[in-house]
Chain A
Amino acid sequence: MSAEHASMRLIDDYARGDTQLPADTLWALESHLETCASCRSRLADSVTNEAPGLAALVDTVRAGLEPQLDAAVQMPSRLRRPRWVSAWLTPAMTPWLLMTVAVTLIALLLDAAGLSGNFGGASPLLLIAPVLPLCAVAASWSRGLDPAYELMASTARAGLPLLLRRTTSVLAVVLPVLLLEGWLTGAMTAAQWLLPSLAFTSTALALGSVVGVTRAAIGLAAAWGVFVVAPAWAGGPSPLALRLDQLPLWGLLLALGTGVVIARRKAYSAL
C-alpha cells in the first residue's frame, strides 16, 4: 500500500523475537505486514536465516499435523442456491409455477388430440392462456401458501417492489412457455393472448391492494371460467373476448390496472 517499507533490521528483530520492540512499533509493523506481500516474503526469509529454531519448530508441527489433515474429509459441497434466486422466487412459489407449466402442457396435449372443436373452434391453450399466470402470481403473495409470510410481513422489503419482483419472475417463466407452445401449435398468435394475460395480471394486482392478491386472482380466474370458457365448452361460438378487434379494450384494462397499482402503491406493505 504505502511506499514505505519496514527496514530489514526491524524485520529481523521481529522474526527473532528476542529484542523488546516498543508496542507502537510492533503494531505498526504487524498492520503493515498484513497488507504488504513483499515485506511478508522478507519476513519469511528472515525467519529461516535469523531464527532457525522457530522454522524447525513450525516444520515439526506441520509434519505432525499432516497425516491428520490428509485424513480429514472435505465436507461434500452442496449445490448452493444463488442469492439472486431467492430474491426473485420463493420456494413456496416453485410448485405453483411447475403446476402452471404442467397445465399448459395438458392444454397442448388436448390441442394435439384435436379437441379444439369442443371449444367453439378455439384452442384450449388459447382459452386458458390469459388467466394462467394468475395462479402463480396468487401463490407468490399469499398468507396461506407462503410459510414465511409472518416473518416477511414485518421486513423492510415487504411491499409493492417485492410483489412486482415475484410477479415478474412468474411472467418470465410462464410467458415464454406459452409463446413457444403457441408457436408450435400455430393455434394462437401472441397478440391474441399476451395483452389479455398482462391485463389480467395487472388487474389482479390492483384488486389485490383491496381484497388481497390471492382472492383477486381466484376471483378473476373464476370469472373468466364462467363467462368465457364455460360458454365455449357448451358449444358456443368462438369467444368474443379473444377476437383481435377487442385488443384496445384489453389495452385499456392493462393501463387501468397499472394506474391503480401505482396509485395504491402504499397499500401493499402487508400481505
Chain B
Amino acid sequence: MTPALSAADAAPKTYAWEIRATGLSVRAGRKKIAVDGLDLSLGTGAHGLLGPNGAGKTTLIRALATVLRPAAGELDLFGSSVGALADLRAVRRRIGYLPQEFGYYKRFTVREFVEYMAWLKEVPKADVPAAVQRAVERVGLADQADQRMKTLSGGMLRRAGIAQAIVNDPAVLLLDEPTAGLDPAQRLRFRELLQELGREACVVVSTHLVEDVAAACSDVVLFADGKLVFQGTPQDLAAAGSPEHPGDSPLERGYSALLHNSEQQKGAW
C-alpha cells in the first residue's frame, strides 16, 4: 500500500530550495557562535555535510531542525522564514531529524518508540501503524520491532533512530552522524537507503567519513569554523586535490586541500 499523501505533499512547490540560509548565524550555548554568516541553498538530493570536529555541523543541523533559533540572518525552510514564523507546526511536520546522540525511553519497544514519534510528528492517526511498519522495514528492524529499546545493540539503536526520522515521510531529512556504530554491511545498506531517500527528499547527512559521502551523496558541503568552504559534487571535491596533499583517496586529498587552503586546520589534530 502506498502511503497517503498529505495536503502539503500534494501542493505545488512554491519555493526554489527546501533549505535556504542567508547570512545565518547560530549560537551554541550562550556565547559561542558556531555557525557564522552561512549562505547555503539545498534542494532535493542527498547532501553530505563534511567538516572537521568542532566545525559547527551539529549546531547547523540543530538549527535546521528548528531546535535552535537563528541568532542572526535568515533561515528559510520550504520557502518560509523560520525566525518570522510564530507557528512552526506546519514546517516541523515535514522534517525528520536524527540527533547525534538521541535519548529514548528504555522501556519502549522499537515499535512503541517509532509510534510515539509518529504521534509527536502529527502523522494522521489512521496512517500510523502502516507508516511505522514501513519505516521499521526500511531500516531492517522488522524482526526486532517488538524488542525493548534497552536490549538493542548500538547499530540497531542507530537504525531505530533512522526509522523514527523517516516515519513521517519528511521532505527535509536531517541526519547527524548516522553511520556511527554501524558495521560495514549495515553502512552499505544505509548508503542504499540514503540514495533512495535522496531521490524524493532533501537529505542532509553530517559525517566525518569521506567515503560515505563519496558513495551515497550527490552533493558535498564542506564546512569549517562555522563557514562554508566548498559546495559541489563529489567529483569537484576530488578534483580540488592533488597528489601532494595528504589523504588515501582522491576525495580525502580534495578535502585536505580545501581545508588547508582556507587555513582552518590548526595544530596537528
Contacts and interface: CB of A to CB of B under 8 A. Distances in A.
Contact of A269 (B65, B88, B99): B88
B103 A148 contact: yes
A155 B122 CA distance: 8
Interface in A152-167: 152-159, 162
A149 interface: yes
A151 B103 contact: yes
B164 interface: yes
Contacts of B101: 150
A156 B122 contact: yes
Interface stretch (B31-39, B48-56, B109-117, B212-220): B109-117
A147 B105 contact: yes
Contacts of A162: 120
10 contacts: A75-B146, A81-B112, A91-B107, A92-B105, A148-B104, A150-B102, A155-B92, A156-B120, A156-B121, A157-B120
B108 interface: yes
B67 A154 contact: yes
Nearest to B120: A155
A111 interface: no
Contacts of B15: none
Interface in B28-66: 65-66
Interface string B152-188: 0000000000001000000000000000000000000
B223 to A, nearest CB: 20
Nearest to A157: B120
A150 B90 CA distance: 19
B97 interface: yes
Given A156-B90, A266-B87, 10 more contacts: A81-B112, A91-B105, A147-B104, A151-B102, A154-B95, A155-B120, A155-B121, A155-B122, A162-B120, A270-B69
Interface string B208-234: 000000000000000000000000000
Interface centre among A83, A147, A152, A154 (most CB of B within 10 A): A154
Contacts of A149: 103
A38 interface: no
A90 interface: yes
Contacts of B245: none
Contacts of A20: none
B4 interface: no
Given A150-B103, A151-B99, A87 B119 contact: yes
A146 B92 contact: no
Given A154-B92, A154-B97, A91 B120 contact: no
Nearest to B105: A91
Contacts of B146: 75, 78
SS class, residues of chain A in contact with chain B? loop
Nearest to B96: A154
Which among B67, B115, B117 has the highest number of chain A CB atoms within 10 Å? B67
B268 interface: no
Contact of A146 (B103, B120, B122): B103
B126 interface: no
A90 B106 CA distance: 11
Among A86, A147, A148, which residue has the most Cβ atoms of chain B within 10 A? A148
A90 B119 contact: no
Nearest to A270: B67
A81 B113 CA distance: 11
Nearest to A87: B119
A147 B87 CA distance: 25
A155 B117 contact: yes
Contacts of B92: 154-156, 158
Nearest to A149: B103
Contacts of A86: 108, 112, 116, 119
Interface in A65-86: 75, 78, 80-81, 83, 86
Given A83-B115, A157-B120, A269-B88, A90 B105 contact: yes
Given A147-B103, A147-B105, A269-B88, A157 B115 contact: no
Contacts of B105: 90-92, 147-148
A152 B103 CA distance: 10
Contacts of A153: 67
B173 to A, nearest CB: 12
Contacts of A80: 112
Q: Which 3 pairs show the lowest CB-CB distances between chains A and B? A: A147-B103, A155-B120, A154-B65
A19 to B, nearest CB: 31
A178 to B, nearest CB: 28
Given A154-B97, A155-B92, A83 B119 contact: yes
Max chain A Cβ within 10 angstroms of own Cβ: one of B93, B105, B106, B164: B105
Contacts of B67: 150, 153-154, 270
